[in-house]
Structure formats: structure tokens, C-alpha cells
Amino acid sequence: MNIEMIHIILIVIMVTAALYMICIFAFTYGIITLKETYERCSIHDIKVSILVAAKNEENVIITLLKSFINQTYSKDMFEIILIDDHSTDNTHKLAEDFIKEHSELNIRLLTATGQGKKAAISQALHSASNDLIMVTDADCDLPETWIESFVARYKHQDIKMILGPVLLSPANNIFEKLQVIEHLSLIASTAGSASIKMPVMCNGANMAYERKAAIEVERYRHDMNIVSGDDMFLLEQFLRHYGNNSVCFLLDKAAVVKTKTSPTISHFLKQRRRWVSKTKAYTNIKIIVTALTVLLFNLGIVSLSIMAIITPLLWLNFVMFVLLKFLIDFPILRYISNFMNQRSLIFWVLPLEFIYPYYVVITAISGLILKTRWK
């Protein structure tokens, strides 16, 4: 490889690094300046509908349902709509038994008439009785202040959509630590981007929105045939019709939803491929540019390591760019790690920076090429 070509490649990587730095520093500023808590009112005067789509969740569905028993929000002020998306295990039976045993909770168990999670959520949305919708996943564990914290944020400001924090656990081995750190970075970017009025991410495991607004934008959605993205495509439509100011992030420890890390590498990669597969259908330019910036910088680092096999002098450049990425990522990761009480993980960030670019590139390519399905 001639020296001119190497110089061109290094310049391209430096440009992507500069764009990445601007993006992450903007998100870092956003999350640092974001107000963390809102005063919760003792008067529970807003009714809430909670939507949960479940498919083959017999091992976790009871944990989720039990999370509603101890909610600090008045039980007569919220309903739970659990929609079974063609489960082939005991999910439906377990949910039925739980409902019979806990008559104090207003739970409706529906059977999905369509196919896929998006159709299930849409069906539940149209069945909801209340105007404030909260959404979570069947494999989540909710804090007892979950509903109350979202309602407090909703009452504080005229907004259409609220995004919430999600924490993966446990983080016992290197594989689990990688998952948790990566997810912390996604949550931090979600919070930071929403804070600077440029929302580029969300997580369907923890969010809320107005029912009327969601039904209104549903007619403009053309993504129902895409397996993943029930959350992201809804976010796109909210931004398009109601503007960036209509979306906010709830950075409140009382609202942190917990879910488990992937048990196997295969399960982990399938999940990430589902996430990536939806990106080719994005239409929001800010979301697209952010995703491309992250991908191209990581692709540049991976390319450097491959070229270094032929030109060993490039190993120094490879290490320098990995260290640069670490310096860019560290402030926002440190902040979100402290917020989520995951301070011990910060020591794993540097070694994992040498692995992460390969993971990003592999999942991106496979997600764009291979077919995916929900479950």
C-alpha cells in the first residue's frame, strides 16, 4: 500500500473522528445539563394505560406483572393491557392465573389479531381507555415509582412523548459487561440528544406518549412490515408532526426499568441485527447522520487494524484512534455509569474499546443483509 493512499485513508478517518467527537460531546453536554428529578404529586389525577406485548415470555411475565402490585400510583388510576402475540408456551395461561389472583389490578389480557410486535402494540393502543400511554417490555422489572415518576414529568411540561432509562443486568462476565456498557452508552445518547432537542434514539422498554397523538401519526407510518423499530419509527413520526420540543427524556432513578442481558452471543447478535435492520428505513436526517457517523468511525478503526497487517507501522495509528475514541466516550459513560450506580464498569471501558468497533461493524453489515424476525 503506497504512502499517498495511507494518507488519504487516515484523513478520512480523522474527519469521521471529528464528526463523532462533535456528536458525542453534544450529547454529553445534553445529559449533564438535564434535570434529574421532578417533584411527584400526591394527587393522582391522570389516568394511565400501560401497554405490554408478550410472546413466549413464560419465564419472565410474572416478574413484570408483580411489578405493578407495589406501584405507588393509585391502582384505580391505571390499567394494564397485556397482549399475547401468538405465544406457543405458557405465557397466556400464567397471565390468566395471575389476573384471577390479583383482582386489585385492572389487567386486560388480549390476543393479538395481527402479526408482530408493532401490530400487537397498535391493537393495544386502540383498546386503551386513557390518554397517557406507557409502554414496557414483557421481560422487564419495574421500580415501584415507575408510573408516578412519568406522570410527574408529564404534568411538568406540555410534551407528547417521554423517553425513559433502561438498565441491563447482570454484568458478571466480560460478555455481560460489554452489553451493559454498550447499553449505557445508548441510554446516555438517548438522554443527551433529547436534552439538546435533537432526539435520535429511544427504547420501547421504557417510554410514554399521548394516545391521541400516537393514533394521529399512525396513519402516516409505512414501517409495519419491518420486524423491529416499533419505538424508533414512532419517534420519527412524533418528531415529524409535533417537532423536536415534543419529546423529552426522564432522567430519574425512580423511573429506571431493568431487563436482563442476553444469555448467549447468538441471542445477543440476533437482537442487535434486529435493531440494525430497521436503520435502512429511517427517514429522519438527524437520526441517519448520527447512525452513519458512529458506523463510519468504527469502520475506520477496523479498517486500520486490517491494513496494519500489511503495513505494521499502522498499528500505532490504530491504537491512537482507539484511545481517541476512549477519550471521547469516557465523560458521557462516566456520567451515566454514576447515575445508574454502575461505577465499577467504568474500568472496563478502555479494554472494551478495542473490541467494540468490530462488534459495531459486524452487526451493522449482518443486520443490513440478513433477514430478521421478532421471535
Per-10-residue mean pLDDT of the chain, 375 residues long, equals 85 97 98 83 90 97 97 97 96 98 98 91 96 97 97 91 97 93 97 98 97 94 73 95 97 96 88 81 94 96 94 94 98 98 96 94 82 62
pLDDT for the residue numbered 168: 97
pLDDT for the residue numbered 375: 63
User: 3-class DSSP state for residue 48?
Assistant: strand
pLDDT for the residue numbered 373: 62
Average pLDDT over all residues of the chain:
93
**Spatial contact of 214 and 234, defined as CB atoms under 8 Å apart:** yes
* H/E stretch holding 209: strand 207-210
Fold of 36-263: Spore Coat Polysaccharide Biosynthesis Protein SpsA; Chain A (3.90.550)
Sequence ranges of the domains in the chain: 3-31+286-369, 36-263
C-alpha cell at 264: 448467549
- Indicate the pTM of the whole model: 0.94
pLDDT for the residue numbered 371: 65
pLDDT for the residue numbered 226: 72
Sheet holding 166-169, edge to edge: 140-141, 257-260, 166-169
Peptide bond into 170 cis (omega under 30): yes
**Spatial contact of 269 and 363, defined as CB atoms under 8 Å apart:** yes
pLDDT for the residue numbered 123: 96
pLDDT for the residue numbered 227: 62
